[in-house]
Structure 1
Amino acid sequence: MPRSSSAVERLIADPTGRQPRADARRNVERLVVAARTAIAEIGADASAHEIAARAGVGIGTFYRRIPSREALLLAVLEEVLDSMAEAGDRALAGSDPWRSLADFALAYVGLRAESRGLCEALGGARAEELTRALAALRERFRLLVERAQAAGAMRTDIAWQDVPFLLASVTAGDRTLGLQATGDQWRRTLRVLLDGLRTGTPGPLPGTAPS
């Protein structure tokens, strides 16, 4: 996959080819960083005022530098999804089909665990606007799963479409039945899940059990 443009590049793109002033670019960069953290903590509908405050700029500067709040949120979500697809490409370049799938699953679930807004986007929020990025990510899942199955490293009764649903379940929550998950819970859950998909010997569990 060719390298995708960054959120900053998408937001400052000018059809005339003119380059923005250095201070204008810096403000956009700050707003993109602030939007990424706001999306992670608050969700995919973080407000313009919240993002501007986190970036340390006024709301007037926000709207002078950004076409709209929607454009900013979409650009950031596309950038994160594209980074996932690029992680899939790096995994596909590996020589071990099972290790490639497992490494990609770790990166994918790790990003899900870090960002509330990303989980919302993967769950269908803004699906029409993110059609291209989501399709690219689905294709990486398909290629990685089918390669692992062809190598005899993964159960063949599992459809590749099952795997995104299984990985989504890994970050379902940090409390259940009065039990509190440790910081490593999603890693432990992921390891159990991967061993259930794998043909061969299970791997060691990371971290400690929930309390």
Structure 2
Amino acid sequence: MSKKTSNISIIILAAGASKRMGTPKQLLKWGNSTLLGNTIETALKLSVKEVIVVLGANYNAIKKEIKHYPITILNNEDWQKGLGKSLAFGVEYITSSKQKVDGILVILADQPLINAQFLNKLIDEFNKKEHPIIATSYKNKKYGVPVIFDKIYFEELLTLNDDYGAKHLLKKNKSLVKILIPELENLDLDLKADYESLYKEKFNNK
């Protein structure tokens, strides 16, 4: 694993209201941290230019719990427009701050099985310059986040404004996407039962 700093920034999307979970899932306990804290700690293990966290719903409560990390915290007041809008908001921050980055690694706050080793594999693959998009495999031949987008897509990412993230971008550029399979299943935690089951499996059986 290279110690050299990669010329990419990380955007962690954590702006949602967690309606299906019934409580802000960003703050749910995960080991000695929270789901969002765990994601931030994983991101900080990587040699990247900057770690950006996009918040929205429950901004003040969540910011209070993560402000001690060496990260950039953004408040997307249009978070209700969905994941795509939060991603566009993060990209807008990068472009307006005139950062010269080669790309962005997009991570969700609710995928606790994604580890630093796998994210480093995505970065290493991106650094080969063979594929402008590096995505993660899901079940049923689907793929998506964590995903790295080359800077050539920033203009399109800035126009996102719905809850489907960048799915259409991945679909449109399918032939240019390299897909990597994580060691553990790539799970999103949306329901309380899913969270409790995974937490028990991960921490209570030891």
Q: TM-score w.r.t. structure 2 length? A: 0.29
Higher helix proportion? 1
Q: TM-score w.r.t. structure 1 length? A: 0.29
Pick 1 or 2: higher relative contact order, CA cutoff 8 A, min separation 6. Answer: 2
State which structure, 1 or 2, has the greater radius of gyration over its C-alpha atoms: 1
Higher strand proportion? 2
